[in-house]
Amino acid sequence: MGTGTEQLGVVILGATSAIARAIARRFAVEGYPIVLAARDVEEAELIAADLRVRHEAKASVLPFDAFDTASHVGFVDLCRQRLSGELGGVVLCFGHMEDQQAAQRDSAAARRILDGNFLGAVSILDHFANYFEARGRGFIAALSSVAGDRGRASNYYYGAAKAGLSTYLQGLRNRLYRSGVSVTTIKPGFIDTKMTYGLEGLFLVDSPEHAGAAMARAILCRRNISYVPWFWRFIMLAIRLIPEWHFKRMRL
């Protein structure tokens, strides 16, 4: 990481997922103090304890709910207090998926998908963006998805939310560039997690440990956009190049 962010704290939002754990481990190995933010505080405490024992990391926990946007006000200050200092970066790992067919019948389910993947992310990242911009340093990273690269009948609510998140991060990257703040958009392909368990049509599935390590490297290298695994960049390029007249006839 660039000069000025060494030994500054890193906040992991949605810290109890398998991918988030792998990312947290990499930052712990690099010597970063860590705040694990999650709804399941008890599970996050277990992860923090493991980081402290295995890697001698300074790891602490804060409750966080992406859906409760009112609680996002002041959350950055809570993170600073927990770390007793300034922040070096934030990694957004949370996401929310529900059955597409159910969401088509139930507007509340559709709203939860949009809130959990887009509105909640924008709400909390805006606060971190203002904080880092004022200090002229830091990094922001967020897990979007290859699902946002093109709308498909099987998951277009989720894909729409992730497409919105990717566009938001692109604009944020443009805004914060001159402030010395990096913004990394991570686009995972199929990863073996609770979110993808039982889904049909999965192929080239990566492990959360391998994927998380690759994501952490992308963040530490300050990449703009990173597909994980890397070959998904070319898979999605091929999918985006399919003409719409043909794509709409495909069962995807």
Residues annotated catalytic, as ranges: 158
Q: How far apart are CA 59 and CA 57, in angstroms?
A: 6
- Crossing angle, helix 75-83 and helix 120-135, to 10 degrees? 60
Contacting residues for 169 by C-beta, under 8 A, at least 6 apart: 140, 142, 144, 183, 185
Contact 34, 59 (CB under 8 A): yes
Contact 82, 60 (CB under 8 A): yes
Q: How far apart are CA 190 and CA 232, in angstroms?
A: 9
Q: How far apart are CA 245 and CA 21, in angstroms?
A: 42
Q: How far apart are CA 226 and CA 186, in angstroms?
A: 5
HSE on the CB side for 134, CA within 13 Å? 9
Cα 151 to its chain centre, rounded Å, is 20
Q: How far apart are CA 40 and CA 44, in angstroms?
A: 6
